[in-house]
Chains A and B, each alone.
Chain A
């Protein structure tokens, strides 16, 4: 389950129109969400509140033998009014990370004003976040500052007695130009410097300059049914790190293909990353087999040591008032879609939901990200009531996670099982409960 504060942070990014996924570090996000989800340990209770549209608090109390907890505060200069913070109404797919289809890159030229509605050049959107872990006296701090529609800086710091020098600071500058995104980072720990970049091509990245509704749109978005092959976007990127103090470094390259929401076939994401220094190659493949089921698999191979690893994972959503179902054959239920297929989709929804379909309010095309999610979220809320995630890796370790909502409480029940040690198979067991308002 995403932590409440992480969810609020993503609401900040949505409100400011920053595309978090246009970064090389999130190239594998889909496969990671399906294959390396963390399972809770012990009992953990989180109380969160978006007290004002600009201020959020969260308190966490947990016990794994010893009681610990944390207090966190978040302040944002931009109003997060559109974020749904009540745990009774939070759209579950947003909170329970799952297969996330790519978001279409916003079109139009940058800087003309239509790129981001309400963006004011003089406005420097800032987010400040702090979290204090109590018995350990560990302090986390994060400041995100937006300088321009394309430039954002993020500084995170940890202060802890046990760390060398008492803490670390990581600074990151992000530059996002739709077609490519570059990040530069520096860490105080070991003097680590890094740069990573992502370049998009194919699919919607080809016609970024053309505004919506042009003739080109018909050829790509709507006319996809007539085209052969699958419609998606390629992304390729690389990262490079160098520790100036310990004289060590690392690098990797990667490529991803992911279908876009307008593609009517089965949504899929395939990635390959190569670490040429260490000889590590990794492939992952994730597919949304149906509206209520996602599958992912990953394979690692090291050409130097011939070590290999594999992992498979799945995610089953629970439909409201029904049992677990794999609803294959349905069209993509992508929560974010370009307006023209939106009509098509709501028509289908009408079929599915018989008569009680809420009026599919035709949305203005310039509404991009955050405001649009509201009716969608309500729809998703109706559709989903919980999710079961499972993964299995080559060490025969099983991770199970059941997340959902009971009344207005969000819960997450998970366990790690080791099949190789059948005498004590449960390696970890945990329950997280979250309430927010």
Chain B
């Protein structure tokens, strides 16, 4: 297989340069400029040169007619150059004063008088070396992300080359600015360009496109894609029919999906609403439906959409489930989910929550989310299968003889390591708090360690309740571990019968099921990991946000 990259037509296109200059100019002027730059930065000359970058294909993750995903190693030491023009403030006292509070300003009379000097900077001899992750799909356009800092060296020549101090300063500053440009702005520019090329219909609603791409990333979010093996409040596994009738607004209790701490905090928050208590807890690891769809975001508060969403959601479920009790699940927990060990204490607290605030207007959005997330789910499914396959084999060996076919072998192992990186980079186009999402990279590692827990849990539960057949369905066991009253049918129905014809269907169902399981684990992991949402701390408490 060979790729043919054509460099010269790209560089010969005059209109391309014009467009690229415009995009670069807007990108350079977007971020707040240091006070020393007093005018707009104009890109006057831009040339990509004649030497193309060297590309080395390291990996191709996905290849089809309309989509492509791969990792490249890129080296560039060509003759591209870029000339910028702006005006700088030459009086150091002027720039010194501009960032200082007026109260402690020495208030010079005329010593801070400005002297603006036109400055022209040429960047040349750019040396780049980076790992590039390229994701292309016809619907979403082209996404290009640098996995590491691509800039190796650059030569900065300016009007002030004769002055050593100024030259060093410029070199330093420009290198820093270029790094942010490459890592953050360039992917956005390329994405925008590609959207213009391939899917111009997405351009008018530019603000929604990033949301959809961000939506992809949160496919593991149990609210965006509720786990197919969802359990209800008492731990009964819901079958497919029940699940299809299940809407998040419905009467089903989804309490196991909520963070324990958040419920406590929300209870405290609600109490502080009803009393005159000034204490409003910050809701740290709030799970939010904000990513589920654009409409969801719109009706949330602008500053804290995430926390407000979490608040809303919890209200609704608590309002609908008045008969719910936590005590059974808490006592039978077996330490598998440590966050649930204090459920009984929650019981008294949540009773104080108000029963109003049902969430009715969200019913229609649910389906849309499912459609969008369709493809991502299969990804997650394969991922889930690949590693839960091992879990299963361990489980069966540890838990004694099993007659179930272990179908992990039939699923091709797909390297998914780079997938969270590539996908998280897409989030960069979102305008909202995308930095948290990009940190999901370490989380994917936790997915792989997590099944070990489940193995132990399964073993424990198996030892406890010997009447449970030690099937390959760790999920059902786990669900069963949380409930004292077992539904006998839920295991039998989903047990594979071993025939070859039905194995494919079975496998698919099993994959989907495992995907949900992994999704739930990721969600739990998120709740446990305090640092993960640590940046949320500075957000104002959601108590004062208008939620509806």
Contact = CB atoms under 8 A, between A and B. Distances in A.
A53 interface: no
A21 to B, nearest CB: 13
A187 B108 CA distance: 13
27 contacts: A28-B109, A140-B101, A157-B104, A158-B101, A158-B104, A163-B101, A168-B101, A189-B96, A190-B96, A240-B111, A241-B93, A246-B96, A248-B92, A248-B93, A248-B96, A249-B92, A250-B111, A252-B108, A273-B113, A274-B110, A275-B111, A278-B90, A278-B114, A280-B110, A280-B114, A282-B110, A307-B116
Contact of A254 (B101, B106, B110, B117): B110
Contacts of A273: 109-110, 113
Interface residues of A, number: 47
Contacts of A187: 104, 106
A185 B109 CA distance: 14
Contact of A252 (B100, B109, B116): B109
Interface string A299-315: 01010110100000000
A240 B104 CA distance: 17
Nearest to A273: B110
B107 interface: yes
Nearest to B95: A248
A305 B116 contact: yes
B111 A252 contact: yes
Interface in A19-72: 24-25, 27-28
B96 A156 contact: no
The 10 closest A-B pairs by CB, nearest first: A248-B92, A252-B110, A250-B93, A250-B111, A280-B113, A273-B110, A278-B115, A170-B104, A252-B111, A158-B101
Contact of A25 (B104, B109, B116): B109
A194 interface: yes
The B interface, classified by DSSP as helix, strand, loop or mixed, is: loop
Contacts of B320: none
Interface string B98-139: 001101111111111111110000000000000000000000
A35 to B, nearest CB: 14
A140 B100 CA distance: 13
Given A160-B101, A241-B93, A243-B96, A250 B107 contact: no
Contacts of B113: 252, 273, 275, 278, 280, 282, 300, 302
Interface of B: 90-93, 96, 100-101, 103-117
B332 to A, nearest CB: 48
Contact of B108 (A138, A163, A241): A241
A240 B90 CA distance: 17
A246 B92 contact: yes
Residue among B91, B104, B108 with most chain A CB within 10 A: B104
Contacts of B92: 243, 246, 248-250
A24 B109 contact: yes
A250 B108 CA distance: 9
A168 to B, nearest CB: 5
Nearest to B117: A305
A279 interface: yes
Contact of B93 (A160, A196, A249, A279): A249
A304 B115 contact: yes
A401 B109 CA distance: 24
A192 interface: yes
A307 to B, nearest CB: 7
Nearest to A160: B101
Contacts, number: 102
A185 B110 CA distance: 16
A169 interface: yes
A248 B103 CA distance: 21
Contacts of B109: 24-25, 27-28, 196, 239, 252, 254, 273
A280 B93 contact: no
Residue among B93, B103, B105, B110 with most chain A CB within 10 A: B110
A279 B110 contact: no
A156 B110 contact: no
A263 to B, nearest CB: 25
Interface string A166-185: 00111010000000000001
Contacts of A158: 101, 103-104
A190 to B, nearest CB: 6
Contact of B106 (A185, A274, A305): A185
A140 B103 contact: yes
B40 to A, nearest CB: 16
Given A169-B104, A249-B92, A305-B115, 17 more contacts: A25-B107, A25-B108, A25-B109, A28-B109, A28-B110, A156-B103, A168-B100, A168-B104, A194-B108, A196-B109, A241-B106, A243-B93, A278-B91, A279-B115, A282-B110, A282-B113, A307-B116
A173 to B, nearest CB: 13
A88 interface: no
Interface string A135-165: 0001010100000000000001110100100
Nearest to B113: A280
A388 B93 CA distance: 34
Nearest to A302: B115
Residue among A156, A190, A241, A278 with most chain B CB within 10 A: A278
A308 to B, nearest CB: 12
A170 B108 CA distance: 13
Contacts of B107: 25
A363 to B, nearest CB: 34
A241 B115 contact: no
A300 B111 CA distance: 13
Contacts of A138: 101
A189 B93 CA distance: 12
A377 interface: no
